[in-house]
Amino acid sequence: MLSHLRLSRPVLFSTIKAPVTWPQARARTIATTPSAQHQQQQQQKRAGDISDAFVSLSGQTFAPLDPRYADLKRRLLSTTTKAILQASWNRLLTHLREETALISAAGSSIVPTIPFTALSSPSSSFLEAHKQRGVAIIKNVVPTTTALQWKQDLKSYIAANPHTKAFPAHDPQVYELYWAPSQMAARTHPNVLAAQRFLMSFWHASPDAAVSMQHPTSYADRLRIRQRGDAAFALGPHVDGGSVERWEEEGYGRGGVYDAVFRGEWEGLDMWDAAGRLPVVSDMYQGVGACSMFRMAQGWLSLSSVGPGEGTLLVNPLFKAATAYYLLRPFFEARSAVEVVGREAFLDKANWRCEERVSSWMQGATPGHGMELSEVLHPHLRLEETMVHIPRVEPGDYVAWHCDTIHAVDKVHQGKGDSSVLYIPACPLTEENARYLARQRAAFVDGTPGPDFGGGEGESRHIGKPSVEDVAEMTSREGDAEGDGLKAFGLKEWDSTADGLSRGEREVMDRANSVLGFYA
């Protein structure tokens, strides 16, 4: 059984009575969490795969939404005047034109890169570039040999379990796997956790805010083994973390995340404010694969050597300006069509005005699906020029991008080998993230998919699925003396009595321990 630190001085959370061990915590949380079968009936999402998360992959088309979205837009417009919003839009279009030229000239070199060994003393140029562009590559997070062994072990796990679901079903590229030994080893690896702490350190919150950026939590996502020549997994420019929720009062509006944009002050948007995102509801419509956890950075760990055009990632370094644009786009319309005036005149700010009659168009946003962008719906982003490939990555490199960043996948994998990654985002410790961990932990024990993903039996019958004890052995083998990997997964309690913690960090640790069943 797992052993745990004993909290001798519970603080700040009035319902705390005494710490309990993992077996007791499991009994407490499982007792209040339905069994796997009951979860399938009441808590699990419907069965599905990654194609269900995106309109473009599921064969649907974009169209105006329910009329209530026109009402939503009117409410947002009531916070400012059309003149103020128009002036903000005009400034944004000017900025986008200037930035597009810079990005087009720089290409992949605009993506900042840093060795894992330099995380304790990053250069000022890296810090500035990452804050401005919202994307980073951390080299050599785990040894190449380790990453390649994880890939081989994944292939063996899949071969031993031919009933594993994948997309596309006839030629698998993305697997509906969450609990493979390699995935669990990577998520709990000390170096991966250290990289996540570094990435989350760019965010800020007041000392009283109930969030900790130095204590990662683990989100169990899928994996990709994309084969050479594949063109099916051609996911275009998109943003995760919800779609229409970004405008909804009960979505991102709960934290006022984008209020500056809707007031006509897009320059004041703070992309690194953690506190405003704590109350956000990013999955209001129970979309299959829609993330309900607060992920500060999307990320994946490379298991292959891949470069541009070889089934890799593309990102949009416009970052804040792109975010402001896709938020404002539904409020504006062209005076004249591109077919009439030509592309440059069409894009000119003089050709764009606030909608005269507010529509229910939410360009690229559909309830229950991810936010998607295109040249037709978002012409000023000039996606053909501003979507750039990340530089070549090697096995063991960690690629991360801010949760609002537009990203895409190569349309065709033209490389010579497979393009394989483990999807591992960077998530802070928050009370809501801890609530998700409790559900995710139960799913892990049962072998069913993570709570955000398509339901069904998952890996409950899979040969070689690791147990709690196996995960403890993995972390011990990697020298994780403090059990940070176990804590991140909800298998060990947080120590809120440790030195150097802010009031908010102590509070969120105690809340999380209570939610996870570690306090009697």
Which two structure tokens, joined as six digits, stand for 296? Answer: 């500060």
What pLDDT, on a 0 to 100 scale, did the predictor assign at position 23?
53
Q: What is the mean pLDDT of residues 180-208?
A: 98
Residues 6+ apart with CB under 8 A from 404: 134, 239, 241, 271, 319, 323
Reply yes or no on whether the pLDDT at 353 is more than 70: yes
Q: What is the pLDDT of residue 34?
A: 37
* Radius of gyration in angstroms for the set of CA atoms belonging to the chain, rounded to a whole number: 23
Nearest Cα residue to 211 out of 271, 279, 270, 274: 274
Confidence of residue 19 (pLDDT cuts 50, 70, 90): very low
Query: Which ranges of 294-423 does DSSP label H, i.e. alpha helix?
Result: 320-328, 338-341, 343-347, 383-386
Q: Please report the pLDDT score of residue 234 as a whole number.
A: 80
Q: CA-to-CA distance for 176 and 45, rounded, in angstroms?
A: 14
Q: Tens of pLDDT along 458-474? A: 999 999 999 999 999 99
Using alpha carbons, list the distances in angstroms from residue 461 to 119, 163, 439. 40, 9, 19
Q: What is the mean pLDDT of the chain?
A: 90
Residue 105 burial (CB count, 10 A): 10
Q: Render pLDDT for 405-460 as a digit per residue (tens, 0 to 9).
A: 999 999 999 999 999 999 999 999 999 999 999 999 999 999 999 999 888 899 99
- Whether 197 has a pLDDT exceeding 60, the answer reads yes
Predicted local confidence at residue 233, as pLDDT: 83
Q: Annotate 455-483 with DSSP letters as a single string.
A: -S-TTTT-TT---HHHHHHHHHHTT-TT-
- Percentage of the chain surpassing pLDDT 90? 83
Average pLDDT over residues 32-45: 41
**DSSP 3-state assignment of 237?**
coil
Q: If you search the block for the tokens 């399938």, which residue do you land on?
A: 40
pLDDT at 46: 56
User: Quick check: bond before 168 cis, omega within 30?
Assistant: yes
**What proportion of the chain, given as a percentage, has pLDDT over 70?**
88
Residue 281 to residue 301: CA distance in whole angstroms: 27
Which value, to the nearest 10 degrees, does the dihedral of the CA atoms of residues 147, 149, 155, 161 take?
-110
On whether the CB atoms of residues 36 and 460 are closer than 8 A, the answer is yes
The answer, yes or no, to whether residue 123 has pLDDT greater than 90, is yes
The pLDDT, as a whole number, for residue 454 is 83
For residues 437 and 485, the answer to whether their CB atoms sit within 8 Å is no
Kindly report, residue by residue over 79-92, the tens digit of the pLDDT.
999 999 999 999 99
Taking residues 491-511, report their average pLDDT.
97
- What is the rounded CA–CA span in Å between residue 110 and residue 317? 8
| 274 contacts 429 by C-beta, under 8 angstroms | no
Mean pLDDT of 484-510: 97
pLDDT score of 492 more than 70: yes
Residue range 22-515 in CATH 3.40.50.1000: no
C-alpha distances out from residue 228 to 303, 412, 487, Å: 15, 8, 38
Find out whether 234 and 355 touch, Cβ atoms under 8 Å.
no
| Residue 357 to residue 461: CA distance in whole angstroms | 55
Q: Which residues contact 356 (CB under 8 A, 6 or more apart)?
A: 333
> Is residue 26 over pLDDT 70?
no
Distance set, CA 207 to CA 279, 343, 500 (Å): 17, 49, 11
- In sign, the C-alpha dihedral spanning 376, 377, 382, 385 is negative
C-alpha span between 460 and 465 (Å, rounded): 8
27 pLDDT tier (thresholds 50, 70, 90): very low
Work out the pLDDT band at 503, boundaries 50, 70, 90: very high
279-322 pLDDT per residue, tens: 999 999 887 767 899 999 999 999 999 999 999 999 999 999 99
Looking at residue 31, its pLDDT comes to 38
Strands 223-226 and 427-430: unpaired
Whether residue 466 contacts residue 181, with contact meaning beta carbons closer than 8 Å, is answered with: yes
Of 429, 357, 505, 399, which is closest to residue 136 (Cα–Cα)? 399
Structure tokens at 239: 């943003």
Q: What is the pLDDT of residue 40?
A: 34
Residues 321 and 261: beta-carbon distance below 8 Å: no
Tokens describing residue 485: 């990997």
Burial class (CB in 10 A: 0-12, 13-18, 19+), 124: exposed
Identify the CA nearest to 51 among candidates 219, 234, 225.
Answer: 234
Can you give the residue ranges of every domain in the chain? 22-515
Strands 166-167 and 174-175, by their bridges, are antiparallel
C-alpha to C-alpha distance for 18 and 8, rounded to whole angstroms: 8
- Token pair recorded at residue 143: 């040894």
More confident residue, 303 or 520: 303
- Provide the pLDDT for residue 232: 86
Residue 399 pLDDT exceeds 80: yes
